[in-house]
Structure 1
Amino acid sequence: MGKSSRTKARNAAATPLAEGEVGPRQPCPCGSGRRYKACHGDPSGQVQAYVGRPFEGLDSECDLVALRELVPSATAPLTLTADGAPAVTLCSLLPGAAPALVRDNGEVWLGLQVQHNFGDPSRDLGAVLEKALAASAAQQTGVVGLTENPGSGPRLQDLVTADALDISVHDGFGFWIADAERTPEMEAALEQANGAALPTSRLASVEAAYWTSVGTKEHLRWVMPEPEDALLDALSRLHAARDDSIAEGSRLVGMFRAHGVLTPVWDLPLGTGAEVLEEAAADFRQRLQEALDDDSDLSTAQRSARAGLANRQVTIR
């Protein structure tokens, strides 16, 4: 490498990244495994631009993130903007991780937990949904996939209403074959899938908060829509004041970052369950809002708390 190239490389490395920005040599957030500069950060524009917050604008943005990344088994009916469309059900996961299924009665099931790596999960879902609707109209049943970049096609936001989703969380994947004649093969596949489904419940008192049990521990994972900087500041204020507990014995242990929003995670004492969290979560939401409304500078203790919380973030997507 020549001197000029080395100088440019050092200058680029010395330039600090804005919060949330991806460096050219870092892994691409799309999950492809390639460096950002060789994937969705390719300056040639040959790869579709990466969308950091793909579900923004939908009332159930945070629930969509939770169902895509955190919740094993859940369903929700979708209301399409087009008239005369068949019934469409959004599913966290479909058999064989299929992108979509057209059922024998013409209904469409759309799978959330599919990684296409085309840069915008919302556009990927829109493309799969359009293909499934076309197959349903042609009375074609079975799996519908997506093998090509959807380009500038419609996004999920363009095809469905923005209304909040009516989400049902399931104990397992029995809904896959609830109205089908069960065979030994089906039973075996269902048993295997159910073995990976951790017990999960969605809280009713707040939005996009999910209790789960992993056997030896219980967690509350709460997807929040506020901008990352503002949310970190608010959580830091509560953490420094030792006011960030959800229930007795709970502890804020970190957070996930996925699809442009943060998901704080609390460890809960074994045996806590979901029911006891309802009132406690509503109370915490009020305290958090008060902290969000506080625009004063962070104190030394709060800045220290913020640094600790920032170091306990794990980026999923």
Structure 2
Amino acid sequence: MGKGARKAREARNGKRRSSGAAFVARSFEGLAAEPELIALREFVPSATARLPVAGAEREIHVASVLPGAAAAMVRSDGTAFLGLQVQAKSSDVSRDLGRALRWLRDADTGDTLAVPDTTSEPVDGERLQDQLDPDVALEPELHPDFSWWLPPGERDSAGTDPAVQRANEAIMPTERLLSAPAETGQATAAYWVDAGEKAHLRWVRPEPESELLAALARLSARGELGLGDGSRYAGSFRAHGLLVPVWDLDREAHPREWVGPAGELGDRLSATLAGLADQPLDAAERRARDGLLGRQITIR
């Protein structure tokens, strides 16, 4: 191979490497909406929420999943949606979604963006953090099916729409357990999920993993990590840089029955987190933390 051809190949390879920007582990860091965005992207089946887009001329909603796992669409009635569960991703999910959001700002009624742009060179101002109000949390609306893919006037035909039918068959019943206090602006992202044989509480927590694990370990050592009878701490999984603890629950109990226990657990967890700086983990708590570290679970 000649020197000129070799240099050209090296230039092309360098361009591919630069367009594949550095991996961003915590995709939505800095946004009050971070926990709910993770929940809607990772395990909530059918949900929408108004997206706090700064300076947008149209109202835009974020959605757990759109028809065909599209990146974005404008429904025939003009309602705009940004899809979270999509078919492709780059090393920076926030940039992928931000690009789809920029497309959505100017899209025409009926337009669909099938896949996000995951290959263009990064430019300033295109990540979600650049386009959303960072202090506004999401308030998701959960739906029992996917009839919302259609405008209100067309939903009578949703039962015969093949795409809606297929999507409905995959839904696991899900309820949002806790609502964030309006004055704090912080989302809670705590969800009851009926996975078939068991029900679960899946709770996206905003704290750094090391601090959260220490607090969970302290509660575990005290015997205070459960939600009462019919519950068991199952483990945790990581998603977009945050830890998601999971509890097994008695699926015969109604989701509302877990709201109080989950709130009490949240209070214990907050108090424990606040005390970590003044009181390091003792030997029993460190052993509990080691045990929690070994209980990583997979939800799919």
* 1:307 shift after superposition: 0.9
Picking from 276, 282, 287, the partner of 1:299 is: 282
**Which one has the bigger helix percentage?**
2
Aligned to 1:31: none
Q: Which amino acid aligns with 2:99?
A: A
- Measure the CA separation in 1 of the matches of 2:265 and 2:101: 37
- 1:240-251 counterparts in 2 under 5 A? 240-251=221-232
- 1:151-166 counterparts in 2 under 5 A? 151-153=122-124, 154-162=126-134, 163-166=136-139
Is the CA contact 1:123–1:156 (under 8 Å) kept in the aligned structure 2?
Answer: yes
Is the CA contact 1:247–1:277 (under 8 Å) kept in the aligned structure 2?
Answer: no
SS at match of 1:221: strand
Q: Deviations over 1:118-161 (max 9, x none)?
A: 1111111110111122223xx56234533452422511121122
- 1:101-112 counterparts in 2 under 5 A? 101-112=73-84
Task: Give the count of matched residue pairs.
Answer: 272
Aligned to 1:192: 166
1:81 aligns with 2:54: yes
Indicate how the Cα distance of structure 1 residues 183 and 294 shifts in structure 2: closer, same or farther if over 3 A, else same: closer
Aligned to 2:29: 56
SS at match of 1:276: helix
Is the CA contact 2:62–2:83 (under 8 Å) kept in the aligned structure 1?
Answer: yes
- Measure the CA separation in 1 of the matches of 2:61 and 2:158: 26
Q: Deviations over 1:167-187 (max 9, x none)?
A: 101112121125253558953
Q: Which amino acid aligns with 1:301?
A: A
Is the CA contact 2:75–2:151 (under 8 Å) kept in the aligned structure 1?
Answer: no
Q: Which amino acid aligns with 1:152?
A: V
* 1:261 shift after superposition: 0.5
Is the CA contact 1:247–1:268 (under 8 Å) kept in the aligned structure 2?
Answer: no
* 1:233 shift after superposition: 0.6
Q: Which amino acid aligns with 2:21?
A: Q
Q: Deviations over 1:267-291 (max 9, x none)?
A: 0112122211111111111111222
Q: Which amino acid aligns with 2:175?
A: S
- 1:174-213 counterparts in 2 under 5 A? 174-181=147-154, 183=157, 186-205=160-179, 207-213=188-194
Picking from 203, 224, 234, the partner of 1:222 is: 203
Question: Is the deviation greater in 195-204 or in 291-300?
Answer: 291-300
- Measure the CA separation in 1 of the matches of 2:219 and 2:23: 33
Is the CA contact 1:97–1:114 (under 8 Å) kept in the aligned structure 2?
Answer: yes
* 1:189 shift after superposition: 2.3
Greater relative contact order (Cα 8 A, min sep 6): structure 1 or 2?
Answer: 2
Aligned to 1:312: 295
- Measure the CA separation in 1 of the matches of 2:196 and 2:115: 35
Picking from 119, 124, 134, the partner of 1:149 is: 119
1:274 aligns with 2:255: yes
Is the CA contact 1:226–1:261 (under 8 Å) kept in the aligned structure 2?
Answer: yes
Question: Is the deviation greater in 295-304 or in 230-239?
Answer: 295-304
Is the CA contact 1:205–1:279 (under 8 Å) kept in the aligned structure 2?
Answer: no
Question: Is the deviation greater in 63-72 or in 277-286?
Answer: 277-286
Is the CA contact 1:205–1:281 (under 8 Å) kept in the aligned structure 2?
Answer: no
Question: Is the deviation greater in 294-303 or in 233-242?
Answer: 294-303
* 1:257 shift after superposition: 0.4
Q: TM-score, normalised by structure 1?
A: 0.79
RMSD over aligned Cα atoms: 2.3
